[in-house]
């Protein structure tokens, strides 16, 4: 049986990012740890789906290949946080890697130049944006180019004022 919006609505009710079984009003799905974080999965007719994908289908009537979480929280499946995306768009909406030398996305300390190196990936290619004395300047440059290239899927660095820095 093809999974459709009409069929989903015979199985589930939706409230604030959670799907509930109509039959007994219990919460649908189980939470599992994946490489990208925790996700809620729900089995429908023997096939397992991420809750975010089912929520998207429940509201919009189609199932995109990728559903992106705008706020990057993979457990926040509220419909206003979900959007259809390409693989590339989904990858641009990310956080800094845990082993990075900088707190900012797209910025790393470069020993050879004794400065903060900034670059961005666009369509699988790295674009060098320069080396900066201040880490914050590199982060601001990354933000400028992220908006230019990634548009609404851009992950922007949050730059705190000097008086809030440790």
pLDDT digits (tens, 9 = 90+) for 2-37: 899 999 999 999 999 999 999 999 999 999 998 767
What are the residue ranges spanned by the domains of the chain? 5-85, 96-164
Supply 41's token pair.
């999965």
**Residue 122 CA from chain centroid, whole number:** 17
Region 96-164: CATH code: 3.30.730.10
User: What does the alpha-carbon distance between residue 79 and residue 110 come to, in Å, rounded to a whole number?
Assistant: 41
User: What does the alpha-carbon distance between residue 22 and residue 162 come to, in Å, rounded to a whole number?
Assistant: 52
Query: What does pTM read for this prediction?
Result: 0.66
Summarised one tens digit per residue, pLDDT across range 38-97 is 899 999 999 999 999 999 999 999 999 899 898 888 899 999 999 998 887 777 666 666
Supply 133's token pair.
């004395």
Q: Where are the beta strands (DSSP E) in 45-152?
A: 47-50, 66-69, 82-85, 107-110, 115-122, 125-132
Residue 89 sits at φ, ψ, to 5 deg, of: -60, -40
**The CATH number fitting domain 5-85, selected from 3.90.75.20, 3.30.460.80, 2.40.110.20, 1.10.3720.10:** 3.90.75.20
């Amino acid at each position: 049986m093809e999974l459709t919006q009409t069929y989903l609505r015979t199985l589930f009710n939706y409230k604030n990012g959670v799907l509930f079984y109509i039959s007994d009003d219990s919460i649908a799905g189980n939470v599992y740890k994946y490489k990208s974080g925790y996700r809620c999965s729900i089995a429908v007719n023997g096939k397992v789906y991420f809750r975010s994908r089912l929520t998207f289908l429940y509201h919009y009537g189609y199932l995109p290949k990728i559903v992106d979480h705008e706020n990057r929280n993979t457990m926040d499946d509220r419909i206003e946080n979900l959007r259809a995306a390409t693989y590339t768009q989904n990858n641009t909406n990310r956080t800094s890697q845990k082993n990075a030398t900088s707190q900012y996305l797209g910025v790393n300390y470069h020993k050879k130049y004794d400065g903060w190196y900034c670059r961005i990936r666009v369509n699988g290619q790295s674009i060098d944006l320069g080396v900066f004395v201040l880490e914050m300047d590199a982060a601001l440059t990354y933000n400028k180019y992220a908006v230019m290239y990634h548009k609404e899927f851009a992950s922007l660095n949050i730059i705190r004022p000097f008086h809030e820095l440790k």
